[in-house]
Structure 1
Amino acid sequence: MNSAVFPVSTPPRSSARLLTSAPCCPEPTTMVGNTPVLWIGEPFADAGAGFWAKLEGNNPGGMKDRPALHMVERARSRGELIPGARIIESSSGTLGLGLALAGIVHGHPVTVVTDPGLEPIIRRMLAAYGADVELVTEPHPSGGWQQARRDRVRQLLDAHPGSWCPDQYNNPDNVEAYQSLALELLAQLGRVDMLVCSVGTGGHSAGIARVLRQFCPHLKLVGVDTVGSALFGQPAAARLMRGLGSSIHPGNIDYEAFDEVHWVAPREAVWSCRTLAATHHASGGWSVGAVALAAGWLARTHSPDLRIAAIFPDGPQRYFDTVYNDDFCAEHGLLDGPAPTEPVTIDHPTDRVVRSWTRCTTVVDPAELRP
């Protein structure tokens, strides 16, 4: 990296300094936040170019530890969540881990409503953390697994008087929770010119960009979605990738904040995840692979002076049976074909149904597309 762009000093570190540099954590919540940024260069970008990856997998359960704790604490402060009441929420896994942490810290039983796509390791860890796991068995005819999970959440709320649902899809506290992450980026990088985020509930893209633009008004926001997702005007379809994309339209997505969107397919995300692991010893799941692919292309096609930050929501551990499993990847045709190099560009999200890496600089709220 060009040191004139972002000087980095790496003085020798003694073992004594290493012993005293790690923070003391008087309680589990203090393990959340202050995650590192890692420079990602070749082969994702050309020599001398690259982007900074915010490694949210360094949180105990991943990036959504932040909103889980924040939503619970805000609800408690307003009296919406009474002491000892049950927390019930829909999750594909990461928020569930964060809610389990919040439940332990604040004394709330937790029920996580999920679907058969939840990885066995996450289901077992949720149980180990004391959470109850409720599995829906059939997708909603139009809203897919997410709507089916939300319908089951409503049933459970009725069955448990006094219980509370964070509703991560529409809760403004989910957006507000990412202020800390944005301020960390500013402290670490000085400025951010372009922010690359996967999009699911819309919380972290909206929350981080909102804060960064107070200090970096020129900021460009790039959203990364999966093929088969309805978030940005494509038709909903079956999706292999979890953690990003949706069959519903969460209220937290700030469509006006985005400058462009990329859709990424599973094979492309797998290549990206495995390449990250082999070249940088840092990787993650579907969202991480998709975000790294888009961020690398943006670094290759823009000035090296542009400071790009990409959010890596989790680490690789929960994906050992999918992204990093050769048998799974071979079964789904995810190891075939050349390395992805650039997206196809379309003028409007409704131009055609995308099946592979595609970008569009026209970002619309799908509500505006309804007849």
Structure 2
Amino acid sequence: MTTVTHPHDGRHGLLRSIGGTPLTAIPVAAGSARHYWAKIEDAGLGGMKARAAASMLLAAIDRGDLAPGAPIIESTSGTLGLGLALAGRALGHPVVLVVDRELEPDMRRLFDIYGVHLEIVDTAHPEGGWQRARLDRLAEVIAATPNAYWPDQYNNPDNALGYTAMAEEILAQAEPMDVLVASVGSGGHCAGLTRVLRRHWPRLRVVGVDSVGSRIFGQPSKERIMRGLGSSILPRNVVYTDYDEVHWVGPVETIASCRSLAAHTCLAGGWSTGAAALVANWVVRQDPTARVLTVFPDGPHRYLHTIYSDAWCAQRGLLAEPHTEPTELATPEEREVDGWGRCRVVRDPAAGQVRV
């Protein structure tokens, strides 16, 4: 099965293999008749973010921003890098990724196999953490590299455009849904899905899933062990008016969710998948009649030595008893979330806009 991530991706054979992923009913517990629906992006070439990578690069080519053979340079915690490696190779561009020392050894090896050059940051920024440190190093690398193109995943609207095809797949696969549960990092996939799905399902409620320690929805920024979820900056791709509520989830809760999901479905994934599964499961348990949709962005392979390693988790104190219900916050800044929190006021920290 093939899909189109950009109006002109038919020019490039590899890119036609992105997408076309299944939508699967996920039981809330082993043997339960209650379920939610998940788009299984690990089944697609390059994973979920290959959609965004192809969209950003093809649009840049069409605008003339990406010259033939020019290097592509981006900051990533890992997953977008896989998509850029695929799309860059298909389009004839070398790829340089700015990563940090916390990138898993398996991912480093994979990027080496793919011929991707890594710039590795060894010290976190004192306020902006690894994300800010990577972006600072990225600016230096771009300045020293003639004709370099930076996709800027956090602020590039073509990121969200890349998920138009996913939304169209969902519309063809699913009955109308009541709730979309979306993990939030760059904000791209939620913005892209919501834009299309609400045209057809105007009453769709959107629940954002963020990481404890992320500042996207107004919580204080602090060091985070979870990768690919949350942010120490405020991405412009996050459309705050799209969200009806937000959940912040911690690593203990996410690891427990990842392992529970794997045990009762044999589907497994990383931080974003576990966090989305936790909240989607909770939404169904609150309202068994609700038709709930989420996206599992990736699979388990890069996490076998972290999330699914007892030794790694125990060393970091991540096998503690998880919170099983979210703490309710009246406003995002009411108090700092520890474990799992929920707020039905969504505020843009930069603009002060509120949606209840």
Q: Same fold (TM over 0.5)?
A: yes
Task: Indicate which of 93, 107, 116 corresponds to 1:131.
Answer: 116
Match for residue 359 of structure 1?
342
Amino acid at match of 2:325: E
Task: Indicate which of 120, 128, 132 corresponds to 2:105.
Answer: 120
Match for residue 308 of structure 1?
292
Alignment of structure 1 residues 81-92 onto 2, 5 Å: 81-92=66-77
- In the TM superposition, what is the alpha-carbon distance from 1:23 to its structure 2 partner? 7.1
Q: CA separation in 1, counterparts of 2:312 and 2:166?
A: 34
Task: Indicate which of 289, 304, 308 corresponds to 1:320.
Answer: 304
Amino acid at match of 1:238: E
Amino acid at match of 2:270: G
- In the TM superposition, what is the alpha-carbon distance from 1:67 to its structure 2 partner? 0.5
Amino acid at match of 2:305: D
Q: CA separation in 2, counterparts of 1:48 and 1:279?
A: 13
Q: CA separation in 2, counterparts of 1:270 and 1:47?
A: 21
Alignment pair present for 1:55 and 2:43: no
- Unaligned runs of 5+ residues in structure 2 are 4-9
Deviates more, 1:22-31 or 1:241-250: 22-31
Match for residue 215 of structure 2?
230
Alignment pair present for 1:40 and 2:26: yes
- Residue by residue, what CA displacement relative to the aligned partner does 1:309-367 show, whole Å, maximum 9, x if unpaired? 11111000000111000101111122222x54321111111110011111100010111
Alignment pair present for 1:332 and 2:306: no
Amino acid at match of 1:74: A
State the superposition RMSD in angstroms: 1.8
SS in 1 for 2:347: coil
SS in 2 for 1:246: coil
Alignment of structure 1 residues 1-371 onto 2, 5 Å: 27-43=13-29, 47-304=32-289, 306-337=290-321, 340-368=323-351
SS in 2 for 1:185: helix
CA contact (8 A) 1:39 1:53 kept: yes
Determine which structure has more spread, i.e. the larger CA radius of gyration.
1
- Residue by residue, what CA displacement relative to the aligned partner does 1:207-241 show, whole Å, maximum 9, x if unpaired? 10111011011011100011111111000001011
SS in 2 for 1:52: strand
SS in 2 for 1:135: strand
Q: CA separation in 2, counterparts of 1:334 and 1:135?
A: 26
Structure 1 runs (4+) greater than 2 angstroms displaced: 22-28
SS in 2 for 1:321: coil
Deviates more, 1:142-151 or 1:197-206: 142-151
- In the TM superposition, what is the alpha-carbon distance from 1:62 to its structure 2 partner? 1.5
- In the TM superposition, what is the alpha-carbon distance from 1:369 to its structure 2 partner? 5.3
CA contact (8 A) 2:191 2:237 kept: yes
| TM-score, normalised via structure 1 length | 0.90
Q: CA separation in 1, counterparts of 2:129 and 2:63?
A: 33
CA contact (8 A) 2:229 2:272 kept: yes
CA contact (8 A) 1:273 1:285 kept: yes
Identical pairs, percent: 50
